[in-house]
Amino acid sequence: MTNLFLIFLGNGNFSRAQLDLSTIFRQFFPFNHKSIIFYSFGLELALNLFYFTPMKVSVDSMDKCKFCGSSNQKVHVAEERMFGQGGKFTYLECLSCGSLQLATIPSDLSSYYSNGYYSLVDLTYSSFFRRILKRVRMKSFYKFESKFFEPSFGYWLKKIKPKFSDRIADIGCGNGQLLYEFFASGFQDLHGFDPFIEEENRISPSLTIWKKRIEESDLKFDLIMMHHSFEHMPDPFDILKACFEKLKPGGRLLIRTPVSDAQIWKDEGVFWVQLDAPRHLMIPSTKGMVAIAKKAGFILDEIEFDSSEFQFWGTELYKKGLALDPKLIGKNFAKEEIDAFKEKALQYNQEGKGDQVCFYFRKQD
């Protein structure tokens, strides 16, 4: 539900900085009303005290937790740090399940997805010879289940082992590189969904990248995957329900996403690299995610923590006021430090406090 704030502004313009004053109020006053009147006493107002112009602004910041429904929330104010664009973005942390959600989704998010954004880069194709090697490798991986043959793009394949003929969807696939690796490895019925790509791309009869949402497809799938796209979506229940409807009975849903169980979130707060304001619209806790997936009809098979050293070096760069540039790793961290970060990530994963997980869900037969 969207609630209304009546904001009185001196110059009739609305700015995020002024809205964020509401977050300060919210920490002291647990508003329960559908509508409230909020007086913003920003700098502009101080200069225009006698010229208040009432302005209605629609915001989601009074919403309940999208994962568990609790309205007991704590406010955090984050900045865009990946490209150093700044700004102020309010996240609500659910005090019941621990999940995070962006209070107000910017009306135009495209300015926060530059051309260098990882999912919008060009697809890298494999030569005919490399594709043969990739097929042999995948067959060997299935046969021997050896770490030696494990594909670098999917450690999680060992848990689900889809058949080569299975119909597989990747939601939020960007350029479709992951599905292309599946294709090169011998999978035959692959469908990527991303409404934000330039155009539909029929790479082969076995692989189509659709410029649409999975909800708009008539196909039913054996496996639906979301690799770090779930957190870019506005509503967890809507997307989970859509996945449930598009899966065949017994079909599986794999969701890889950051989680707020992360120790680094508890330690470093809004400097946490995977908070990624304002692109990440929601970050579940494992508790919140399991609750909402169950509500959508899913059975949980397993949760696997798969965080990496990225959580540490990325967060350190943000704490130093630097943008997220892999070229800065060498300049800012010694090899020993990176090795220690890797070690710590493994330890965090074992203890269930890494900053991202793989959820393995299933639709009942």
Q: Which CB, 69 or 297, lies closer to Zn ion? A: 69
Q: Which CB, 63 or 325, lies closer to Zn ion? A: 63
CA distance 50 to 32: 30
Binding track over 158-177 against Zn ion, x by CB under 5 A: --------------------
Q: Which CB, 64 or 158, lies closer to Zn ion? A: 64
Taking the complex as a whole, the smallest distance from the CB of residue 65 to Zn ion amounts, in Å, to 3
Residue tagged 């969207």 (tokens): 2
Q: Check residue 94 for interaction with Zn ion (CB under 5 A).
A: yes
Of 2-10, 11-19, 68-76, 207-215, which segment contacts Zn ion by CB under 5 A? 68-76
| Residue type present at position 106 | P
Q: Check residue 68 for interaction with Zn ion (CB under 5 A).
A: yes
Of 199-207, 255-263, 285-293, 322-330, which segment contacts Zn ion by CB under 5 A? 285-293
* Beta strand 100-102 pairing with 86-94: antiparallel
Among 62, 65, 173, 224, interactor with Zn ion by CB under 5 A: 65
Spatial CA neighbour of 276 closest among 237, 308, 232: 232
Q: Which CB, 74 or 320, lies closer to Zn ion? A: 74
Q: Check residue 293 for interaction with Zn ion (CB under 5 A).
A: no
Of 89-97, 104-112, 187-195, 196-204, which segment contacts Zn ion by CB under 5 A? 89-97
Taking the complex as a whole, the smallest distance from the CB of residue 95 to Zn ion amounts, in Å, to 8
Q: Which CB, 144 or 237, lies closer to Zn ion? A: 237
Q: Which CB, 98 or 174, lies closer to Zn ion? A: 98
Q: Check residue 97 for interaction with Zn ion (CB under 5 A).
A: yes
Q: Which CB, 168 or 275, lies closer to Zn ion? A: 275
Total of residues contacting Zn ion (CB under 5 A) = 9
Among 5, 67, 89, 272, interactor with Zn ion by CB under 5 A: 67
Taking the complex as a whole, the smallest distance from the CB of residue 317 to Zn ion amounts, in Å, to 30
- Residues engaged in binding Zn ion (CB under 5 A): 65, 67-68, 70, 94, 96-97, 99, 288
